[in-house]
Structure 1
């Protein structure tokens, strides 16, 4: 493991890693360390006087036409009203259908999550990210996994690094096989120690609240797509979900115009439910060639469609490109709950979703493996994944070819 708190040293190290890879060798071999450990570069973002070279993004990503004063028109859907009566559901369905037809983003109020729980979850994240770097590294994310702590995803990439720290952990639905209803709390205790047990219990409760919120959202989405009965197909599909919770921290940045907190991408998950802390904006959505900010609505969650739900609708509802920007003097925190199916569930749209299938059948485990080990999520993730699943000779087929072979995976 390599700890870096100097911008010049960070740039030199990453350049050495890239040059070593081009030459067929590894930095680990030159330094006499294990490959998986030497590849981890830890940057203490609090201490950077200027941006290290690996954090500088291409101008095409950071300098696209932007309308900072023209916010994205994101409807606020009242979930309580949708559950209360038919008129409330009709209004919610109309709002969601319009949003998903244009950009895939909407906000939800009346969700039933106590403000005190949301505040405790945000404050817990703030406390974790204030810990010394060595303490946070006790939860270091292992290569190829989605859980744990990482600074700038330096464990995965050597360029276009995001200016952020994250802590991610899994959450299994209460109905999922083998779930003891304390998986999140157990993760915090076993990874960070007994002193973090209470924080784990807070996030356990928060994730369970997110389960209920996403159930209602799925009911509304199902109705908007003409799948009646309370959106039965989509609700049932996620009844034994295996989701991901992520705490994000975006420190102040000396050169915010040259980097990003999160690069342009579409979420591979089914839905993302985002809680933003306070009125510090950062989320931007690409609509009509311009990056449009999404202003946090007090007490509401921001929801967006992901690639998995796009596949479940056979492309009717599309995931949308978005990013997170950073600020020179303001820090920003957010909590993202990524609704994902059970790992072995086969993702396919309901009958009648379209005569021609746009995507092959796949499992969430395959898509997660693809995005964690072979592909950096962007606007073309699902199309690239479909090609990865299908043998070249069958690229026009409408059915899946099964999991990729070792040869296929090696060529991605």
Structure 2
């Protein structure tokens, strides 16, 4: 079904473009080439024949929808998000607001088990669904990262994947729920606090989009290494390949959407691009997305393997830093602020070095 694009806010262009769809069951060397090309040109791609079972996905989706269908007072028992837990409208700590409610979980099984008591009426069932899903998408993320290393001709093919396989990995799972806007507007008409949110939303996020669509989750790049995203069959995701241009990503329940994070841009010495993206809330349908953010341990030192420092640049574009240092910077900024530029090596630093 073709749906008309929302009318853009001023100075924005909506461009039609299909992301590369990569069949992971195809010949391995060809797959690795296609992944590298997609990461260089788009920073985003879709994967099919990914090996994550429908049953694992269905169980996770069922738990997510069950949680978001609860009364607000019950959902709030799993919050406030600090940063993990339940959050609604407020995104992060710096004034970003969107038409979204979410559940952010650390991927550590013990943490999931403890937190599930405030999330589900059947904590064991919830924990089982979440840990099963995380295990499956972590495996998929590692396979993709290994294929990237092969396609980049890095001899140590686990150079990226071992960071998220590490027992101390700081990876996260985020469930985002975008309620239909007719529900949001109905709530807003009767609630003074919602009216206040409406004002902040418009003021802070430049988020009013004509045609009844609004920003669900504002423009940002993902700070981690790699994101593996799945959503139900409702559109909303848009990527920005260049300033002022937005490309709607068509929903596809058979595929996972994969995107490069800031750390991977740094570790490929700028060869792969971490692209800004956002999610619009749909006027009539509820949308739920499940994002696995593959991240290294906090102490991990982020630097490109030596093979990637020669091409396409003869020196490292970014100074070495730890994930803890980068994460702290990301949490101190607004959602749409550029972070990676703060770690870029200046030309005069290179001359001095």
TM-score by length of 2: 0.80
1:382 partnered with 2:350: no
Aligned partners of 2:28 and 2:92: how far apart in 1?
44
Structure 2 equivalent of residue 358 of structure 1: 317
Verify the 8 A CA contact 2:67 2:119 in the aligned structure 1: no
2:229 corresponds to? 274
Helix, strand or coil at the partner of 1:99: helix
Q: Equivalent residues in 2 for 1:256-405 (5 A)?
A: 257=210, 259-278=214-233, 280-287=234-241, 289-354=244-309, 355-372=314-331, 374-378=332-336, 380-384=338-342, 386=343, 396-397=348-349
Q: Secondary structure at the match of 2:307?
A: coil
Alignment of 1:1-400 (within 5 A): 59=9, 64-67=12-15, 70=16, 72-81=17-26, 88-142=27-81, 145-153=82-90, 156-158=93-95, 161-172=97-108, 181-189=109-117, 191-192=118-119, 195-228=122-155, 231-240=157-166, 241-253=169-181, 254=185, 257=210, 259-278=214-233, 280-287=234-241, 289-354=244-309, 355-372=314-331, 374-378=332-336, 380-384=338-342, 386=343, 396-397=348-349
Cα offset, 1:396, TM superposition: 4.8
CA 1:256–1:328 in structure 2 vs 1: closer, same or farther (change >3 Å)? farther
Give the Cα separation in 2 of the matches to 1:193 and 1:248: 17
Gaps of 5+ in 2: 1-7, 186-207
Q: Which stretch of the first structure deviates more once superposed, 102-111 or 252-261? A: 252-261
Instruction: Let me know the Cα RMSD of the aligned residues.
Output: 2.4
Q: Would the aligned equivalents of 2:78 and 2:115 in 1 still touch at CA under 8 Å?
A: no
CA separation in 1, counterparts of 2:286 and 2:230?
Answer: 15
Q: Deviations over 1:333-360 (max 9, x none)?
A: 1100000001111111111322321111
Residues 208, 396 of structure 1: alpha-carbon distance in 2 compared, 3 angstrom cutoff: farther
Cα offset for 1:267? 0.8
Q: 1:162 to 1:219 in 2, by over 3 A?
A: same
1:10 corresponds to: none
C-alpha spacing 1:187/1:135, structure 2 compared with 1 (3 Å): same
Q: Is this contact kept in 2: 1:314–1:349, CA < 8 A?
A: yes
Asked if the contact 1:321–1:379 (Cα under 8 Å) also holds between the matched residues in 2, the reply is no
Question: Secondary structure, in 3 states, of the residue corresponding to 2:102?
Answer: strand
CA 1:277–1:312 in structure 2 vs 1: closer, same or farther (change >3 Å)?
same
Contact 2:235 2:282 in 1 (8 A): no
Counting matched residue pairs gives 309
Structure 2: distance between partners of 1:345 and 1:319:
19
Cα deviation 1:226-256 (Å, max 9, x = unaligned):
1145x23122333202200000001112475
* CA distance in 1 between partners of 2:21 and 2:70 (Å): 35
The alpha-carbon deviation at position 182 of structure 1 amounts to: 4.2
**8 A contact 2:102–2:175 mirrored in 1:** yes
- Report the alpha carbon displacement of residue 114 of structure 1 after superposing the two structures with TM: 1.0
Structure 1 residues 346 and 155 mapped into 2: Cα distance closer, same or farther (>3 Å)? closer
Would you say the 8 A contact 1:166–1:249 is kept in 2? Answer: yes
1:137 to 1:124, Cα distance in 2 relative to 1, 3 A: same
Greater fraction of residues in strand: 2
**C-alpha spacing 1:152/1:395, structure 2 compared with 1 (3 Å):** farther
TM-score, L = length of structure 1? 0.70
CA 131–395 in structure 1, closer or farther in 2 if over 3 Å, else same: farther
Q: How far off its partner does 1:188 sit?
A: 1.1
SS of residue in 2 equivalent to 1:325: strand
